């Protein structure tokens, strides 16, 4: 999953970005409204964290701009505690959730997880497919109840595929959603990661759809069609 953080407070921006990276997400960052607006409109993020008070363009106008441009990415707004009107204006502009400053990083992480799984149509923080269970809360993976140790890249890849069971995901899409802007992207690496992941999981879960991409069958899991 790839996220964008738009926050002009450099310290806070850095804290949020590193907490999200530690949680296993690929993260891009912007420090003002214009830069944020541009990235949000041109890059395919899975979730955006947007501060309301920003230089160059405020959060509400950035968000309204995205929604006008049909950007449907879920957005969590960051609002000041004494500005209830920020929340109202933010929701009206198309926000999906909010966190009031100052906040505990754990709360923001939990809201990101909830939003990602709701967007993908999952009701709980555990997503399963056949014998494989992905616990998005702890970031752990189990096969037949036994934990499997994955690298952060392997986890990201599996997490993205399991959030999108029943749909063929192309290599290009994976590349766009698994790496941040600065990463040297090469879609061949996806193939390598899929190979390693299959080996570690040791179950027939990830199918290759020739010429199109990869698929985890919805019927393989607890998610009903």
Q: Which spans of this chain sit near Ca ion (rule: CB under 5 A)? A: 8, 51, 53
Positive or negative, the Cα torsion across 202, 164, 49, 84? negative
Which residue's CB is nearer to Ca ion, number 8 or number 173?
8
What is the chain's Cα-based Rg? 18
Find the shortest distance in angstroms from Cβ 172 to Ca ion: 34
φ/ψ region of 138 (left if φ > 0, alpha if ψ in -120 to 50, else beta) reads alpha
Which residue's CB is nearer to Ca ion, number 53 or number 130?
53
Find the shortest distance in angstroms from Cβ 222 to Ca ion: 41
Which residue's CB is nearer to Ca ion, number 53 or number 166?
53
Q: What is the dihedral of CA 168, 49, 4, 38, to 10 degrees?
A: 110
Residue 113 CA to residue 96 CA, distance in Å, equals 13
Q: Which two tokens stand for residue 114?
A: 């909830």
Which residue's CB is nearer to Ca ion, number 51 or number 154?
51
Find the shortest distance in angstroms from Cβ 9 to Ca ion: 5
Q: Which two tokens stand for residue 194?
A: 């899929």
Residue nearest to Ca ion (CB): 53
Which residue's CB is nearer to Ca ion, number 8 or number 41?
8
Contact 36, 54 (CB under 8 A): yes
Residue 170 CA to residue 212 CA, distance in Å, equals 6
Find the shortest distance in angstroms from Cβ 71 to Ca ion: 21
Find the shortest distance in angstroms from Cβ 63 to Ca ion: 14
């Amino acid at each position: 999953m790839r996220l964008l953080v738009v926050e002009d407070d450099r310290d806070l921006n850095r804290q949020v970005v590193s907490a999200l990276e530690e949680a296993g997400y690929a993260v891009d960052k912007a420090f003002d409204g214009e830069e944020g607006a541009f990235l949000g409109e041109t890059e395919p993020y899975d979730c955006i964290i947007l501060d309301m008070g920003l230089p160059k363009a405020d959060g509400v106008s950035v968000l309204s701009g995205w929604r006008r441009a049909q950007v449907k990415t879920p957005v969590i707004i960051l609002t000041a505690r004494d500005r209830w009107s920020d929340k109202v204006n933010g929701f009206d502009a198309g926000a999906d959730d909010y966190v009031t400053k100052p906040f505990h990083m754990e709360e923001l992480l939990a809201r990101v997880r909830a939003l990602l799984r709701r967007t993908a149509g999952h009701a709980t923080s555990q997503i399963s497919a056949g014998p494989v269970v992905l616990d998005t809360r702890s970031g752990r993976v189990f096969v037949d109840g036994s934990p499997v140790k994955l690298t952060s890249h392997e986890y990201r890849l599996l997490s993205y595929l399991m959030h999108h069971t029943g749909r063929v995901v192309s290599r290009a899409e994976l590349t766009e959603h698994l790496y941040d802007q600065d990463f040297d992207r090469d879609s061949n690496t996806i193939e390598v990661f899929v190979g390693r992941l299959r080996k570690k999981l040791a179950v027939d879960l990830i199918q290759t759809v020739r010429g199109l991409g990869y698929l985890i069958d919805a019927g393989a899991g607890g998610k009903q069609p």
